[in-house]
Amino acid sequence: MKRDRRHFLGATAALTATLAAPTVWGQGSGRPKVVVIGGGAGGATAARYIAKDSDGGIDVTLVEPSRDFYTCFFSNLVIGGFREMASIRHSYGKLASEFGVNVVHDWAIGIDRDAKTVTLAGGAVLPYDRLVVSPGIDFVQGSVPGWDVSAQHAMPHAYKAGSQTELLKHQIEAMPEGGLFCMIAPPNPFRCPPGPYERISMVAHVLKERNPTAKILVADPKEKFSKQALFEDGWETHYGGMIERLGPDFGGGNVSVDPAAMTVDIDGEVNEVAVCNVIPKQKAGRIAELAGLADETGFCPVVPATMQSRMDENIHVLGDATNQGDMPKSGFAANSQAKVAAMAIRGALTGSKVFPAKFTNTCWSLISPENGIKVGATYEATEDKIAKVDGFISQLGEDADQRMETFVESVGWYSGITTDMFG
Amino acid sequence: MTRAPRQIVARGAVLAVLSLAPAIPAGASEFGDVEKGAELWKKCRPCHQIGEDARNRIGPNLNFIFGRKAAEVEEFKYSKAMGQAREEGLVWTLETLDAFIEEPKSVVPGTKMRFLGLSDANERADVLAWLRENSDNPRDIPEAAPTAVGTDHNVAPEILAIVGDPEYGEYLSSECLTCHRADGEMEGIPSVTGWPAEDFVIAMHAYKDKARDHPVMQMMAGRLSNEEIAAIAAYFAELGG
């Protein structure tokens, strides 16, 4: 379908100005329209639940550039050799065929909040009654001096799963004997709080097997991190002497890199590195920023009870892109928030019953083979924020059976959440 | 226990040898360890009961399983596939149970049993030993039989009498479905689909009262009201129907 885009945009604006709901696009045009930007744990779940629970009463379009989606969760296990790449790859076929979601593989490049339309890189303009924005994270330019996206081959971030995961895995396996692996850890807040530290565990596992004289250096701008005592205990037990972490007191926050020379400068001391994993400072996905949904934190403030943007009541923001309060930026959290948003959206568009919001999160991490740990909490919606109600964490000194059970449980969770996202 | 498990295992082994000797595959020629089997039974008991007062739940009761024809338990609604297997002469013996527990869907394609299987032959032998001990003579099992575990928590009758709202349950259940698959498939996390509502309510209150120890479930159940638990139970019972 070829149309003059400028004219098309103009027509959209005119129509939405005169009609309660835009009605000219395609079949089922009388139904309320929801557009979902981003097909990860937040967006895919929201699309599926809105389509499923409205029984076709709502026209749902999911905009996601990737045809094959690799989950960030469990991508560290691919690096560690505990999962295959193919096992973390998912597609959107069932959302389309079983749940009636209109899956569009394209980039959303603009949101016109007045006209209530989303513009795609391919030129299409999608009208919406409610918009779900779940774009994940992008990196803050210049946050690690010397690094930008053009350097991500020399120094991968591997913080969006897929080719970067494979690249980093390959680089670790190809490290020269006794070489140095360096991670530049991100400042708060960032995607998957245990993620960098689970990754360190997985790298240590690979090196212990293949390259036991290699070393791991972590430059970290943070004093503390999630499940710190559990990770440090596991590192000491399983990878004693291999891992060194420099916190802010030791210059871990004063870092620059030179990808061409493969060096890392930590507080004036230059280290030659064999592999460098740069995880930059993060912000909400670019599209959220472009649409004016982010605040000075770089993330998008939301109304906890409905996940509506505080900038625009017709837009719901989910997952890593949000600034919501106490929940971590995890796939589990995004999935949980998506269900609250889906219920609120159905309530608003079809009058279905709306129940009080409940949120949950659990993050599992693998330290060494069959040695799993977890941390989790439940949350409620208050006026100001999503607030923690109750929580738990794995204990130091748990026996091997308990750790094995936790790992097995994490495998079950992976199967559960990916089925919940993709059908 | 009023009897030494070892004796019973030995007796079971003799019986098995007498009745099945020519057909026993190498890996299943002996029963395993009853105590290990009791641990492994935890994988079975969400769906099956065994022993005195055992009832049909998600799966049929397993009393007198050895030597029983497939799809034999009255009042249990078997899959068409299991009915077909019965027509074809499937009888539950040491050998056929071993094969079935290894990979249910390869022995009876289309079975409702969602369990993926136990690939470890020793573990299967342990489970079979435990089944043997508990299924042959259920009348002899003392009152605190292992089957009691699933429903051993005291829940006040007025709580059990609450009629759950399945629509509310459907929303609340979305929290469960991040880990427990709606289709009943299970890898490392048990299925909750198709549970009888009363069992579900009792299990959730056992977590809520911290009589069952699993931190995630204690946390999840801990903030659910009695009405909310009833609603979720109603929804999952319906989902399996």
Locate the domains of chain B by residue range.
5-149, 153-239
C-beta atoms of B215 and A417 within 8 A: no
Q: Tell me the residues of chain A between 51 and 110 that have a Cβ less than 8 Å away from chain B.
A: 53
Instruction: Give the model's pLDDT for residue A29.
Output: 60
**Which helix H or strand E contains A283, and what residues bound it?**
strand A282-284
Give the number of other Cβ atoms within 10 Å of residue B176's Cβ. 21
Instruction: Name every chain B residue with its beta carbon within 8 A of the beta carbon of A355.
Output: 168, 171-172
Instruction: Give the model's pLDDT for residue A167.
Output: 98
C-beta atoms of A360 and B220 within 8 A: yes
- Output A264 or B126, whichever has higher pLDDT: A264
C-beta atoms of A378 and B219 within 8 A: yes
Q: How confident is the model at residue B19 (pLDDT cuts 50, 70, 90)?
A: very low
Q: How far is CA A34 from CA A60, A98, A118, in A?
A: 5, 18, 11
Lowest mean pLDDT of A339-353, B55-69, B113-127, B131-145, name the range.
B131-145
- A186-208 pLDDT tens trace: 999 999 999 999 999 999 999 99
Is the CB of B11 inside 8 Å of chain A's CB atoms?
A: no
Q: Which residue has the tokens 């964490």?
A: A393
Instruction: Give the model's pLDDT for residue A173.
Output: 98
Taking alpha carbons only, the member of B140, B139, B136, B146 closest to residue B16 is B136
Tell me the pairing of strands A263-266 and A255-258. Answer: antiparallel
Residues B176-183: what's their mean pLDDT? Answer: 92
Structural tokens at position B115: 């369990």
- Which segments of A25-96 are extended strands (E)? 33-37, 59-63, 69-70, 89-90
Is the CB of B116 inside 8 Å of chain A's CB atoms?
A: no
C-beta atoms of A412 and B188 within 8 A: yes
- Which segments of B35-180 are extended strands (E)? none
Instruction: Give the model's pLDDT for residue B70.
Output: 92
Which candidate from B171, B181, B215 shows the least CB-CB separation from A416? Answer: B181
Instruction: Name every chain A residue with its beta carbon within 8 A of the beta carbon of B188.
Output: 408-413, 415
> What phi, psi does A22 have (nearest 5°)?
-65, 135
Q: Tell me the residues of chain B between 144 and 183 that have a Cβ less than 8 Å away from chain A.
A: 167-168, 170-172, 174-175, 177-183
Residue B106: strand, helix, or coil: helix
Question: How far away is chain B from the Cα of A413, in angstroms, using its nearest Cα?
Answer: 4
What is the spatial distance between Cα A348 and Cα A413, in angstroms, rounded to a whole number? 31
- B184-211 pLDDT tens trace: 887 788 888 888 888 899 999 999 999 8
Q: Which residue has the tokens 């394209």?
A: A106
Look over chain B and give the mean of its residue pLDDT values, rounded to a whole number: 79
Question: How far away is chain B from the Cα of A347, in angstroms, using its nearest Cα?
Answer: 12
Chain A residue with minimum CA distance to B192: A416
Taking alpha carbons only, the member of A229, A261, A27, A36 closest to residue A132 is A36
Tell me the pairing of strands A300-303 and A322-323. Answer: parallel
Is the CB of B217 inside 8 Å of chain A's CB atoms?
A: no
What is the spatial distance between Cα A345 and Cα A308, in angstroms, rounded to a whole number? 9
Instruction: Name every chain A residue with its beta carbon within 8 A of the beta carbon of B178.
Output: 332, 335-336, 360, 413, 416-417, 420
Lowest mean pLDDT of A124-133, A206-215, B138-147, B151-160, name the range.
B138-147
C-beta atoms of B179 and A376 within 8 A: no
Percent of chain B with pLDDT over 90: 32
Choose the CATH number for B153-239 among 1.20.1740.10, 3.30.930.10, 1.10.760.10, 2.40.240.20: 1.10.760.10
C-beta atoms of B189 and A409 within 8 A: yes
Is the CB of A415 inside 8 Å of chain B's CB atoms?
A: yes
The dotted CATH code for A5-138+283-355 is 3.50.50.60
What is the spatial distance between Cα B92 and Cα A241, in angstroms, rounded to a whole number? 55
Instruction: Give the model's pLDDT for residue A49.
Output: 98
**Does the pLDDT value for residue B71 go beyond 50?**
yes
- Output B57 or A201, whichever has higher pLDDT: A201
Taking alpha carbons only, the member of A44, A98, A79, A75 closest to residue A173 is A79
Q: How confident is the model at residue B147 (pLDDT cuts 50, 70, 90)?
A: very low
What is the spatial distance between Cα A349 and Cα A57, in angstroms, rounded to a whole number? 9
- Output B54 or A166, whichever has higher pLDDT: A166
Instruction: Give the model's pLDDT for residue B29.
Output: 39
Taking alpha carbons only, the member of B199, B55, B58, B37 closest to residue B115 is B58
Choose the CATH number for A145-280 among 3.40.50.720, 3.50.50.60, 3.60.10.10, 3.30.70.100: 3.50.50.60
Q: Do domains B5-149 and B153-239 have the same CATH topology?
A: yes
Residues of chain A whose pLDDT is less than 70? Answer: 1-29
Taking alpha carbons only, the member of A390, A385, A410, A336 closest to residue A134 is A336
Domain boundaries, chain A: 5-138+283-355, 145-280
Instruction: Name every chain A residue with its beta carbon within 8 A of the beta carbon of B171.
Output: 339, 343, 355
Kindly calculate the radius of gyration of chain B based on its CA atoms and give it in whole angstroms: 19
Question: How far away is chain B from the Cα of A313, in angstroms, using its nearest Cα?
Answer: 22
Query: Could you report the predicted ipTM of this complex, rounded to two decimals?
Result: 0.82
Residue B36: strand, helix, or coil: helix
| A116 Ramachandran zone, left/alpha/beta (phi>0; psi -120 to 50) | left
Q: At what angle do helices A41-53 and A331-350 cross, to 10 degrees?
A: 30
Instruction: Name every chain A residue with its beta carbon within 8 A of the beta carbon of B172.
Output: 355, 358
Instruction: Name every chain A residue with its beta carbon within 8 A of the beta carbon of B180.
Output: 416
Q: Do B25 and B98 meet the contact criterion of CB atoms below 8 Å apart?
A: yes
Top-ranked range on mean pLDDT: pick from A219-223, B105-109, B161-165: A219-223
Instruction: Give the model's pLDDT for residue B136.
Output: 62
Q: Mutate which of A54, A332, A358, A359 to disrupt the B interface (most B C-beta within 10 Å)?
A: A358
A225: number of CA atoms within 13 Å, CB side?
27
Which candidate from A358, A410, A416 shows the least CB-CB separation from B180? Answer: A416
User: Residues 6 or more apart from A71 whose CB is under 8 A from it?
Assistant: A40, A41, A88, A90, A161, A331, A414, A418
- B79-104 pLDDT tens trace: 889 999 999 889 888 888 989 999 99
B5-149 belongs to which CATH class?
A: mainly alpha
Q: Do A296 and A194 meet the contact criterion of CB atoms below 8 Å apart?
A: no
The answer to whether the Cα torsion of A269, A270, A272, A278 is positive or negative is positive
Q: Do B192 and B202 meet the contact criterion of CB atoms below 8 Å apart?
A: no
Q: Do domains A5-138+283-355 and A145-280 have the same CATH topology?
A: yes
Which candidate from B172, B177, B219 shows the least CB-CB separation from A416? Answer: B177
**Does the pLDDT value for residue B139 go beyond 80?**
no
Chain B residue with minimum CA distance to A346: B171
What is the spatial distance between Cα B33 and Cα B8, in angstroms, rounded to a whole number? 11
Instruction: Give the model's pLDDT for residue B148.
Output: 33
For chain A, what percentages of helix, strand and coil (3-state, to nearest 5) are there?
A: 30, 25, 40
C-beta atoms of B188 and A343 within 8 A: no
Residue A113: strand, helix, or coil: coil
- Output A129 or B34, whichever has higher pLDDT: A129
Amino acid at position A206, single letter = V
Give the number of other Cβ atoms within 10 Å of residue A219's Cβ. 28
C-beta atoms of B178 and A416 within 8 A: yes
Q: Which residue has the tokens 């638990």?
A: B229
pTM of the model: 0.78
